[in-house]
């Protein structure tokens, strides 16, 4: 239950961040600050954890415009179903919201290996993290 809630919050955060282009943020100050922290943490135990984030999208753009991608689901019998999916949605969520039967016993937390997605286009496959 906890993993499901954490996954949902993470998916919501990704969806909100993906609603528009990210603003460019100068990184020189962050890098200098990070290097200083690394050097000082070598001499003494680290007491805090640091992280970086990016700026939100420009608020002047229309927030009602949601970016979508085209996804083709291929059933075991070979039939194809073409759907538009909002950016940031997991393939398991996209399948379930479009009435495509795809088992995910762990609700997409990558703990059970019951759901499988095969990316056929090599260009898109190479873009996966």
* pLDDT, tens digit (0-9, with 9 covering 90-100), for 60-117: 555 556 899 898 888 888 889 999 999 888 888 888 899 888 888 887 777 887 877 7
CB 87 within 8 A of CB 67: yes
CA distance 12 to 9: 5
The 8-class DSSP code of residue 16 comes to: H
Residues 120 and 72 in one domain: yes
Alpha helices in 18-81 (DSSP H): 28-43
Residue 84 lies in a domain: yes
Q: How confident is the model at residue 1 (pLDDT cuts 50, 70, 90)?
A: low
Q: Are residues 31 and 82 in the same domain?
A: no
Strand partners, 84: 70
Distance, in Å, from the CA atom of 108 to the CA atom of 91, rounded to the nearest integer, reads 9
- Number of domains observed in the structure of the chain: 2
74 and 107: one domain?
yes
Residue 48, pLDDT > 60, answer no
Q: Assess whether 123 and 72 both reside in one domain.
A: yes
Residue with tokens 């703990």: 111
Mark whether 72 and 120 lie in a shared domain.
Answer: yes
In a domain, 61, yes or no: no
73 and 121 in a single domain? The answer is yes
* Spatial separation of the C-alpha atoms in residues 112 and 31, rounded to whole Å: 39
- Is the distance from CB of 15 to CB of 88 less than 8 angstroms? yes
Range of the domain at 39: 2-43
Q: What is the pLDDT of residue 63?
A: 56
- My answer on whether 27 and 74 are in the same domain is no
């Amino acid at each position: 239950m906890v993993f499901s809630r954490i996954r949902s919050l993470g998916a919501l955060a990704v969806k909100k961040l993906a609603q528009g282009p990210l603003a460019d943020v100068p990184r020189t100050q962050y890098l200098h600050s990070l290097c200083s922290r690394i050097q000082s943490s070598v001499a003494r135990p680290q007491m805090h954890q640091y992280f970086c984030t990016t700026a939100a999208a420009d608020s002047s753009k229309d927030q009602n415009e949601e970016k979508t991608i085209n996804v083709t689901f291929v059933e075991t019998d070979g039939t194809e179903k073409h759907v538009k999916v909002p950016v940031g949605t997991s393939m398991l969520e996209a399948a379930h919201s479009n009435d495509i039967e795809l088992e995910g016993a762990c609700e997409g937390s990558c703990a059970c290996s019951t759901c499988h997605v095969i990316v056929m286009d090599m260009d898109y496959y190479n873009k996966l993290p």
